Amino acid sequence: MKLWLFGLYGIVGSTAVVGERAIKKGLSDTTGLVSELPIFERLKDYAPLDFQFGGHDIREIDKNLFQIVEEHWELNQHFDYRILLKLKEDLEKIKAKKGTALNCGEGVLEELKPLSTLEDEGLTLKEIVERLEKDLLEFADNETVAINVASTEPTPEFDPEYHATLEGFERAIEEDRRDKVTASMLYAYVSLKNGIPFANFTPSVSSSIPALKELAERVGVPHAGNDGKTGETLVKTTLAPMFAYRNLKVLGWMGYNILGDLDGKVLAHEQNKRSKIVSKDKVVGKILGYYPYTITEINYFPSLQDNKTAFDFIHFQGFLGTKMKFYFIWDAIDAIVAAPLVLDIARFLLLAKKKGQKGVVKELAFFFKSPMDTDEYNTHRQFEILKKWFEALVSS
């Protein structure tokens, strides 16, 4: 199968490529891949763990993927360097196409310099779409999936005139209304328009607007999102149900996140950070059925690079009104916990396409912080839903 990554040169996208290639060459095992659990054994009949990669990016597109991964490695040492050396020839063959940073916010524009974007060429929205589409279709076949792993955008204000219907969205493109369209929307649009299953691994709005949901239904293509659930929020959505099951009242939940790398730099800008905080903050109340006092903070800590650390404090009340406390620390390399999920989601979406599913695949909520079209945020229940969905599809 083929996988097109919007944000190919970021550390998550590039690590996904390294991981798949390492597994294929016997340099690593499949630890971390949900899709390789025994219960999903039959997935290989529909979407084998065997990818070709391509993608768009907005930085250093004169370089190949080996050069990009080596830069990430020099900062993070996030896997055995001998693996990278053995993959050098493979990675040198992969090179990103020029993407867009339209309305990506000051965080992206300031921190990912030097940028090389389609809008730098003075193209209209329609011309940008045509270029993105051309690149994607030169790569794609009937077994292609596209995933957005680009940096987090600010959340745009919803405009019913341009976001509520497909006709309105396409009119925005025709009228060159750059103020109404973001890069993630365009990435979703060119994918879905051409029947390519799409997933949004970021908190950006992407395919979640009604116009693009309408497009997916009309074309008959599956899509999923938003915001990959990889670290602190994974723990939150796994742990919060315990308090609900035991009838313990959560009084307050504080999560303080620190990280470095380009992701940290971008999220240090308030307009880029806001959508990420909303995505992380709402899950506790959704699971508990009420909203305790919460604090969710994300701060840039340069020396950590891609090592994300979260400190969580939970204040809860038990029997006889007694107040008690629970603390945990999550400390992980973000790309290492995120990259395998990108491969997982791609495989499950290809299965969905082959089984004729269209529109939002809400059964993939297990993989996302802010899953579309569902109020189920409980990780345990999400996993059971995923298993039942899979079993029903492969048995049909």
Helix or strand run (H / E) with residue 264: helix 261-267
Cα separation, 58 vs 121, in Å, equals 13
Per the DSSP assignment, residues forming a β-bridge with 222 are 359
- How many CA within 13 A on the CB side of residue 393? 24
Where are the extended beta strands (E) located within 260-306?
293-300
DSSP state of 204: S
With the C-alpha atoms ordered 363, 367, 373, 375, is the resulting torsion angle positive or negative?
positive
319: exposed, middle or buried (C-beta count within 10 Å: 0-12, 13-18, 19+)? exposed
- Helix/strand/coil for 53: strand
Q: At what angle do helices 334-354 and 11-24 cross, to 10 degrees?
A: 70
Residues 6+ apart with CB under 8 A from 184: 6, 148, 150, 153, 200, 202, 204, 205, 206
% the chain with pLDDT above 70: 95
Tell me the CATH number for domain 232-332.
3.30.360.10
142: exposed, middle or buried (C-beta count within 10 Å: 0-12, 13-18, 19+)? exposed
pLDDT number for residue 344? 98
pLDDT number for residue 59? 87
Mean pLDDT in residue range 92-107: 91
pLDDT tens per residue across span 41-55:
999 999 999 999 999
Domain boundaries along the sequence of the chain? 2-228+336-395, 232-332
% the chain with pLDDT above 90: 84
DSSP state of 98: E
Q: Determine the longest span between alpha carbons in the chain, in angstroms.
A: 67
pLDDT tens per residue across span 328-350:
999 999 999 999 999 999 999 99
Q: Pick 2-228+336-395's CATH classification: 3.40.50.620, 3.40.50.1400, 3.40.50.720, 3.40.50.2300.
A: 3.40.50.720
pLDDT number for residue 100? 96
Mean pLDDT in residue range 371-391: 97
Cα separation, 345 vs 367, in Å, equals 8
Cα separation, 225 vs 362, in Å, equals 8
